[in-house]
Amino acid sequence: MEPVIKEIYDSIVEADQKMTSTKVQEALDQGFDPGYILNTGMVAAMTEVGRLFEEGEYFVPEMLVSARAMQAGLSILKPKMVEANIQSIGKVVAGTVKGDMHDIGKNLVCMMLEGAAFEIIDLGSDVSPDKFVDAVKSHQANMVAMSALLTTTMPNMKVTIDALKEAGVRDQVKIMVGGAPLSTQYAEEIGADGYAQDASRAVALAKSLIGA
């Protein structure tokens, strides 16, 4: 790995936002391909952060600040990626379901997915089924990621899936769900395609669902 790319990688793993921004710009100035910077420097770093999380060396706060460092670098890289016409590996409509205002977990999943080269349409929290449907249609998304942190709002996941069916777009998207009270069994019951218990596993699940 070239020195500047290694510095980008290390700065994300060590959650140094300023260093990430500086080194991404440096790499661009040195003529590195934006796709190479993204995959070798940034996606690889977030994969390592996910591994550290799963092994219990990192916790949610560490994961969050690393994801923010990655986003700081992405903000510099994105215009160059557009110029180079670098395609995302998937387009994800994400949101916390109707009635639920919790968004920390959902935000972390969005950051991690963005760090893995997915394009994110983040609808925020308290998202109605209609809003999910409209976003899938208007953005031609191929994945929906729903979060619920309350047992009282969990049923709105099924309501949303039913709304996607009614709108005739259920077959064009893979649906993954997450949140503290959920389980794989619940995901199967409501007709989702998969369940992830944390942000790191959400990335692996999303990649497997779209065959990336």
pLDDT tens for residues 81-136? 888 888 889 999 999 999 999 998 899 999 999 888 899 999 999 999 999 999 99
Check residue 159 and give its pLDDT. 98
CA distances from 93 to 1, 90, 117, 168, 186 (A): 33, 10, 14, 16, 21
Six token digits for residue 97: 């379901």
Question: Which contacts (CB < 8 Å, 24+ apart) does range 170-173 have?
Answer: 172/136, 172/141, 172/142, 173/93, 173/136, 173/141, 173/142, 173/143, 173/144
Percent of residues, the chain, with pLDDT higher than 70: 100
pTM to 2 decimal places? 0.84
pLDDT tens for residues 173-209? 999 999 999 999 999 999 999 999 988 899 999 999 9
Check residue 84 and give its pLDDT. 83
